[in-house]
A = this chain, B = another copy of it.
Amino acid sequence: MIITVTPNISLDKTLVVENFEIGKTHRVKDITAIPGGKGVNASRALLGMGYIAPVLGFIGGNTGQNILNMFDHEGIKYDVVKINRETRTCYNVVDPINHTQTEVLENGPVVTDNDINLLEAKIVSYVKEDTIVCMGGSLPIGAPQDLYVRLVESINLKGGRVILDASGDRLKEGIKGKPFAVKPNRAEVESILGFSLDSDENIKKALDYFVAVGVTLPVISMGKDGVAFYYDGRYYRITPPVLKALNAVGSGDSTVAGIALGLEKKLDIVEAVRLGAAMGSANVLTLKPGEVRKTDVDEILPRVGVTVI
């Protein structure tokens, strides 16, 4: 079984505003709202492949209820901890005339120790031998900085495998729990390691950093340059075909979903990461973050190359 965990679920609103300017009053041209967050996007990508992976996380207030209604509408299953505070909304003002994107992110609700304990108990209740947990993103206010360590350890203890996709301190802290896999993107890795991933040598050095702390399968997504990963003594680079991108947001999350699906299907690890890369590529062909069509993945997968580096 695969579950996804998103501690800081958000309602992602895209406001299309022509000629967006500071200090002016504008009418929106178009507006879309969709539940977002790394685990949510991974569940959406898995649904596109015909696989149901429930979303776990915190949900509160009217915005939270709105999100649950949208999950129902999309067919995304969920098992959430209800909290008293309002789930956050993130805004992206897209200007199609000047080609700008201006984002405003709410901080999200404060969660209590009790909320955290309820989420942990809920996650652990799903975990059996071979359960795969896709987990990641930012943490809500009030969550301990070492939440990911704690959750990873609890999941490991019951024989589950975690794919952690986080950045900054959440990633640096989280790997102390020894997740089975991590899937940061290039910029996130460069930010915590302080050097540029501009050569195979540096990419290997970055993968080694994660291996050294006990990560079995470190994966770095690199946008159009594909995916680099380490497994069982070897370094690999996966190169997807070049596609005309409609919206690349959520490709990393779709890659995580694909790796999870590969593990769930007991594919070879290299094949699992190839499936991840194919799903990450397929995501750029759709508008919604995490939206993936199985027909696209079937078409892309044979064109995804693997090389040992």
Contacts of A24 in B (CB 8 A): 102-103
Contacts of A95 in B (CB 8 A): 22
Cβ-neighbour of A105 out of B26, B98, B100 (below 8 A): B26
Q: What is the total number of copies of this protein in its complex?
A: 2
Contacts of A105 in B (CB 8 A): 25-28
Contacts of A26 in B (CB 8 A): 102-105
Contacts of A31 in B (CB 8 A): 106
A55 at the interface (CB under 8 A from B): no
A92: min CB distance to chain B, Å: 9
Q: Tell me the bound Cα distance from A106 to B27 in angstroms.
A: 6
Contacts of A61 in B (CB 8 A): 66
Contacts of A104 in B (CB 8 A): 15, 17, 20, 26-28, 93
Task: Mark interface residues in A95-132 (1 if CB within 8 Å of B CB, else 0).
Answer: 10010111111110000000000000000000000000
Cβ-neighbour of A22 out of B22, B28, B65 (below 8 A): B22
A84 at the interface (CB under 8 A from B): no
Q: Output the nearest chain B residue to A105 by Cβ-Cβ distance.
A: B27
Q: Tell me the bound Cα distance from A155 to B34 in angstroms.
A: 42
A21 at the interface (CB under 8 A from B): yes
A185 at the interface (CB under 8 A from B): no
Q: Tell me the bound Cα distance from A66 to B65 in angstroms.
A: 11
Chain A positions 133-181 with a Cβ under 8 Å from a chain B Cβ? none
Q: Tell me the bound Cα distance from A103 to B28 in angstroms.
A: 10
Q: Output the nearest chain B residue to A30 by Cβ-Cβ distance.
A: B107
Is B103 a contact of A25 with CB atoms below 8 Å? yes
Cβ-neighbour of A28 out of B15, B65, B106 (below 8 A): B106
Tell me whether A20 and B22 are in contact in the complex, defined as CB-CB below 8 angstroms, given that A31-B106, A62-B63, A66-B62 are known contacts.
Answer: yes
A91 at the interface (CB under 8 A from B): yes
Is B62 a contact of A23 with CB atoms below 8 Å? no
Q: Tell me the bound Cα distance from A105 to B102 in angstroms.
A: 16
Contacts of A17 in B (CB 8 A): 104
A98: min CB distance to chain B, Å: 8
A202 at the interface (CB under 8 A from B): no
Q: Output the nearest chain B residue to A24 by Cβ-Cβ distance.
A: B102
Chain A positions 60-109 with a Cβ under 8 Å from a chain B Cβ? 61-63, 65-66, 69, 91, 93, 95, 98, 100-107
Binding site for B on A (CB under 8 A): 15, 17, 20-28, 31, 61-63, 65-66, 69, 91, 93, 95, 98, 100-107
Q: Could you show 13 A-B contacts with beta carbons less than 8 Å apart?
A: A15-B104, A20-B22, A22-B95, A22-B98, A24-B102, A24-B103, A26-B102, A26-B105, A27-B105, A27-B107, A28-B105, A61-B66, A91-B91
Known: A17-B104, A62-B62. 14 other contacts (CB 8 A): A15-B91, A15-B104, A22-B102, A23-B100, A25-B103, A25-B105, A26-B103, A26-B104, A27-B107, A28-B107, A31-B106, A61-B66, A62-B65, A62-B69
Closest CB pairs A-B (n = 5): A25-B103, A62-B66, A23-B100, A62-B62, A26-B104
